[in-house]
Structure 1
């Protein structure tokens, strides 16, 4: 089952990429595609002498992020594709390097307009991380505990519903039918964390569920961009406040010049199957940002 679902996802994304590339190559001129790409690397460093009395520890950290979109529109038909990747490492003096942020998010949506502001749509999105994640120093002897890896967990969600999109920078998706598959591929992770996957299984299937998604992406000031994404997942069999999942992602980017930027990123997750408390991470960095708008593939 797991291999079939992964094969289907990869096939979906591969077909979409090939069709997009073919359209980009052959369209003369291209008036139906709107594309954007932003890739950045942020570096933070601090150094202290051994006799620095104010306190502190030497450290170095970096994180990289990619945010790409390819949106197609022809008449009443739309096809929107988004990729968000984040990864970072941190090294403190006297400690091994540790992961500071790790996120993979892929989203593809096919829509058909029924009015100026509303579309019907079908979509698929995938959420996971690249590499192993640990809970550090959990035991008295300093042992680290493996709690995540690629596809452990991994979430593949399909959705059918209606989308409200009154302008280019805001959208709200309402999906009364949104089956989700939770993967737990690494047996070593499964020993410590199950993420709602039943014992003895590597996939949890939630067929009867709903999903709400909202996104906002706009330049709020000159050279300052704010991007917000929210997702709520509701299993009809678990209709209580504590059992409703919430995911929130935000990125605030301020361009100093063409290549230098300051950005603030934050992720908030509430998933009772993972933890009864809210999880969050945040990073602030100065780095290099490369962006492209409306490009074509030759």
Structure 2
């Protein structure tokens, strides 16, 4: 875990904001963006009320691609992590954002717009996640572990037909899609979290994946990205797992950037904690706004 954390911190230091690097002698194109934000609120004898808080967040998006007349190879890393320390509760430091996506696809071009690809994708988070709650009439806050590194972790292995229009839009269908759900945390595996059989640490499904990726410049220094993934097992084609993320990135000047991201998840095999205190099937949604430092080289 420490090795992985050190690796991704190294990536943060080496990443670059809104840059594109290529050379005359290479078919490789490297792109990336990095944003970090920090905020602090300190109150003393403040009549209007409020809480002291300290927060830190990072968003990294890196890609590396190689395209020749007949082949293409795309690699991607998306990483986001955020923490907040607030108030005087028993659990002052809490995670606000945590996502890690690694993807690689290699294939052959049929023509300028159609390709056949074989690829893999890994989705997980780096840190432990908790649900915070109070029981009965007690004012004492408690917490329950609901996620960890590779719990869940999703590994997809796909054979894909892809349609791509310039660098704006790509549509893909994977009729042979292998989805493996990992729950490597012992406590969560014993509870049968994320659809695995209680006591087991993985679940294998064969199905179909649909994907839509859209990326374009809204205006100068402003880019919008949307990535929609849908998966259904051949055993239950009436149930779909949906994961839809968007990211709006704005470069204010040479040193300052801001970005606004959303993520919507629905998994019919996963029970989620709801606002009314119950647990059951439901749509997960989050949004994250970051304003901070941009690094370029």
Band the TM-score falls in, shorter-chain normalisation: 0.7 to 0.9
Kindly provide the CA deviation profile for residues 208-241 of structure 1, in whole angstroms up to 9, marking residues without a partner as x. Answer: x00011112222101111111110011111122x
Aligned counterparts of 1:223 and 1:204: Cα–Cα separation in 2:
43
> What is the match of residue 34 of structure 1?
29
> What is the match of residue 152 of structure 1?
151
Q: What is the total number of aligned residue pairs between the two structures? A: 262
* Cα offset, 1:176, TM superposition: 0.7
Kindly provide the CA deviation profile for residues 143-170 of structure 1, in whole angstroms up to 9, marking residues without a partner as x. Answer: 2100100010100001112001011122
Q: 1:107 to 1:100 in 2, by over 3 A?
A: same
Gaps of at least 5 residues in structure 1 are 1-26, 293-298
Aligned counterparts of 1:193 and 1:41: Cα–Cα separation in 2:
36
* Cα offset, 1:205, TM superposition: 0.5
Alignment partner of 1:97 out of 93, 104, 112: 93
Normalised to the residue count of structure 1, the TM-score between the two structures is 0.83
Let me know the Cα RMSD of the aligned residues: 1.7
Choose between structure 1 and 2: higher helix proportion: 1
Kindly provide the CA deviation profile for residues 79-128 of structure 1, in whole angstroms up to 9, marking residues without a partner as x. Answer: 00000000000111213100000000011011211122110111100000
Does 2:289 match 1:278? Answer: no
Aligned counterparts of 1:63 and 1:171: Cα–Cα separation in 2:
30
* Cα offset, 1:174, TM superposition: 0.6
> What is the match of residue 171 of structure 2?
172
Aligned counterparts of 1:290 and 1:225: Cα–Cα separation in 2:
17
* Cα offset, 1:291, TM superposition: 4.5
Decide whether the 8 Å contact of 1:225 with 1:252 is kept in 2. Answer: yes
> What is the match of residue 6 of structure 2?
none
Decide whether the 8 Å contact of 2:261 with 2:287 is kept in 1. Answer: yes
> What is the match of residue 218 of structure 1?
216
Q: 1:256 to 1:28 in 2, by over 3 A?
A: closer
> What is the match of residue 8 of structure 1?
none
Aligned counterparts of 1:159 and 1:190: Cα–Cα separation in 2:
26
Q: 1:133 to 1:28 in 2, by over 3 A?
A: closer
Q: Which has the higher contact order (CA 8 A, sep 6+)?
A: 1
> What is the match of residue 204 of structure 1?
203
Normalised to the residue count of structure 2, the TM-score between the two structures is 0.84
Could you list the structure 1 runs, at least 4 aligned residues long, displaced by more than 4 angstroms after superposition. none
User: Secondary structure of the equivalent of 2:187?
Assistant: helix
User: Secondary structure of the equivalent of 2:193?
Assistant: coil
Decide whether the 8 Å contact of 1:44 with 1:286 is kept in 2. Answer: no
* Cα offset, 1:257, TM superposition: 0.4
